[in-house]
């Protein structure tokens, strides 16, 4: 099976050995896990036997308060890819314009709902910016 999503550290190690690389294809920090996150994981370890709230009620409430916006404006998901797939499932667009290069999940999600996909190639000479054409 060919993996398209980024962050395939096991495959990279297999292909490159122990060579140190920086992977910019996924939202991972080359600096490692921040101390505050490690501490939060330790504090939460006693609740590891419970499945997280699938509706993210407390998180949405806190975000709503912090951002001063209605709770119904907030959608939580299991990462960007999950939200992209859910958006395409909800909207089922007939046609989609995608920039290239881009996150592979946009094309995959559009294909799953039968969207006709058009590509706009971003060019280095244009600083990878969309032009008027």
Distance CA 78, CA 60 (A): 14
Q: Give 59's contacts (C-beta < 8 A, 6+ positions apart).
A: 53, 76
> Secondary structure of the chain in the HEC alphabet?
CCCCCCCCHHHHHHHHCCCCCCCCCCCCCCCCCCHHHHHHHHHHHHHCCCCCCCCCHHHHHHHHHHHCCCHHHCCCCCCHHHHHHHHHHHHCCCEEEEEECCCHHHHHHHHHCCCEEEEEECCHHHCCCCCCC
- Tell me what pLDDT residue 74 has: 96
pLDDT tens track, the chain, 133 positions: 566 666 777 777 788 887 777 666 666 777 888 999 999 999 999 988 988 888 999 999 999 999 999 999 999 988 888 999 999 999 999 999 999 888 889 999 999 999 999 999 999 999 989 998 8
- Tell me what pLDDT residue 115 has: 98
- Tell me what pLDDT residue 2 has: 64
Short-list 76, 79, 84, CA closest to 108: 84
- Tell me what pLDDT residue 104 has: 86
- Tell me what pLDDT residue 54 has: 86
Give 24: exposed, middle or buried? Use CB within 10 Å, 0-12, 13-18, 19+: exposed
- Tell me what pLDDT residue 6 has: 65
- Tell me what pLDDT residue 3 has: 60
User: Are the CB atoms for 7 and 23 separated by under 8 Å?
Assistant: yes
Domain boundaries, the chain: 1-50
- Tell me what pLDDT residue 103 has: 86
- Tell me what pLDDT residue 51 has: 85
């Amino acid at each position: 099976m060919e993996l398209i999503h980024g962050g395939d550290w096991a495959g990279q190690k297999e292909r490159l050995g122990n060579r140190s690389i920086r992977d910019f294809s996924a939202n991972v920090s080359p600096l490692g896990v921040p101390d505050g996150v490690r501490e939060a994981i330790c504090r939460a370890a006693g609740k590891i036997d419970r499945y997280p709230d699938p509706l993210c009620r407390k998180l949405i409430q806190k975000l709503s308060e912090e951002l001063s916006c209605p709770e119904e404006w907030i959608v939580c998901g299991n990462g960007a890819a999950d939200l992209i797939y859910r958006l395409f499932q909800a909207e089922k667009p007939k046609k989609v314009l995608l920039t290239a290069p881009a996150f592979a999940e946009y094309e995959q999600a559009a294909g799953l709902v039968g969207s006709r996909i058009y590509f706009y190639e971003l060019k280095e000479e244009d600083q990878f910016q969309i032009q008027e054409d």
